[in-house]
Amino acid sequence: MSQLEDIQAEYEKFPEELESVIISTVNAQAIPNASYAPFVIDDSKNIYIYVSGLSTHTKNLYDNPHVSVLFIEDEAKSNLIFARRRLSFDCTANLIERETDKWNQIVEQFQGRFGEIIEVLRGLSDFRIFQLTPSEGRFVVGFGAAYHISGDNLNQLVQITGDSNQKQG
């Protein structure tokens, strides 16, 4: 395998190593909020979060559907705190209507991943599922090892080189 193929394989499995994603939302007054949520992800890189309607980030998603997400390596597993592996995406959030086929399918994925707690959440009417659809992103695996991800092909990494942030494949 080439180095790029190794990094590509790492990119594909990285979100699966984590159970939650950091989410950054903005309210109607443009005040940011950072939070987190457990997630499931599909083959198209859509990220699904199951969140309380009472939370700040959920209210913000209703006001402004633009959200940034960050998957980041556990500090305890990182060899160098300044160069933790991380994957970020700029996304657009869409509410999945309750009790639809898609909603039930996503809840089943949450149940398979997180167990019995999902049965409790399923019974709470304020909990919502949002689909976060990435438009572009960045995967960083260390110093000088950053890769751009385009919404045109979320499976293709393009290395970012030089001070000009020019992308080269």
73 φ/ψ angles, rounded to the nearest 5 degrees? -60, 140
3-state SS class at 151: coil
pLDDT tens for the 169 residues of the chain, in order: 688 889 999 999 999 999 999 999 999 999 999 999 999 999 999 999 999 999 999 999 999 999 999 999 999 988 888 989 999 999 999 999 998 999 999 999 999 999 999 999 998 999 999 999 999 999 999 888 899 999 888 988 998 887 544 444 4
H/E stretch holding 118 reads helix 117-122
3-state SS class at 113: helix
All structural domains of the chain = 3-159 (2.30.110.10)
CA distance 143 to 145: 5
